[in-house]
Amino acid sequence: MKILVTGANGFIGPKIVHALRAEDRDVRALVRRPERAGALAAWGVELVAGDVTDAASMSAAAEGCTHVVHLVAIIQGRPEEFQRVMIDGTRNVIAAAKSAGVERFVLMSALGTTEETKDVVPYYNAKWTEEQDVIASEDLVAIRLVVSATHTGNMLGVPATGRPVQWDAVDIYRVTDDGKISEQWAFEDLAAILSQVGAVSLPWAG
């Protein structure tokens, strides 16, 4: 098993990677600047330089991997930036995963992402489109996890100030296909959950 993690040195990524390495799992991290990923390297992670917006580098990163945990996202920017980074970037990740014969694909989505909210802000539109693209990719066994980060009651990606904020609480939810919240975990549990991404015992794993 070799697990490719995109967004490995972002907001959630380091905790996921650390948990995976704590279980001695083989991890490859896609990073734009390997020289800035010293902590990941120190944990024994294989670093590959690339970007989800670069299809060629994405294909190279996925080669030889059996699992993908896709975490890349932005929470502010122009609509075209959400299209380029999140929507087109995720399509590159999906294509690379399919080409590499990946067995399982985990997409980190966001609480509140529904057909009804997809036109509220570009972030939700991008997350909704990502989900639909993964669903449409029948060759992938996909797991959808969603994250809600709150700061005085605001949803991740929709801070009241319109500027980045210091999130003071993070809850992790799993949402069923009909949009209902079925479980809730603390932030620290997310790494442990995703570190088991290859375990067939997961009740929602295909």
Domain boundaries, the chain: 2-147+185-195
Would you state the pLDDT for residue 143?
61
**CATH code linked to domain 2-147+185-195:** 3.40.50.720
pLDDT digits 0-9 by tens, 151-192: 333 333 333 333 333 333 444 455 555 555 555 555 455 555
pLDDT of residue 142: 59
Give the tokens for residue 175.
């949402």
pTM beyond 0.75: the answer is yes
How far is residue 131 from each of residues 42, 99, 127, measured CA to CA in Å? 33, 19, 6
Residues of the chain with pLDDT under 70: 139-206
User: What's the token pair of residue 106?
Assistant: 């985990």
Distance CA 197, CA 34 (A): 25
pLDDT of residue 195: 54
Q: What three-state secondary structure class fits 78?
A: coil
pLDDT at 176: 55
Classify residue 159 by burial, with Cβ atoms within 10 Å: 0-12, 13-18, 19+: middle
List the beta strands (DSSP E) in the chain: 2-6, 26-31, 46-49, 67-70, 104-110, 142-150, 169-175, 181-186
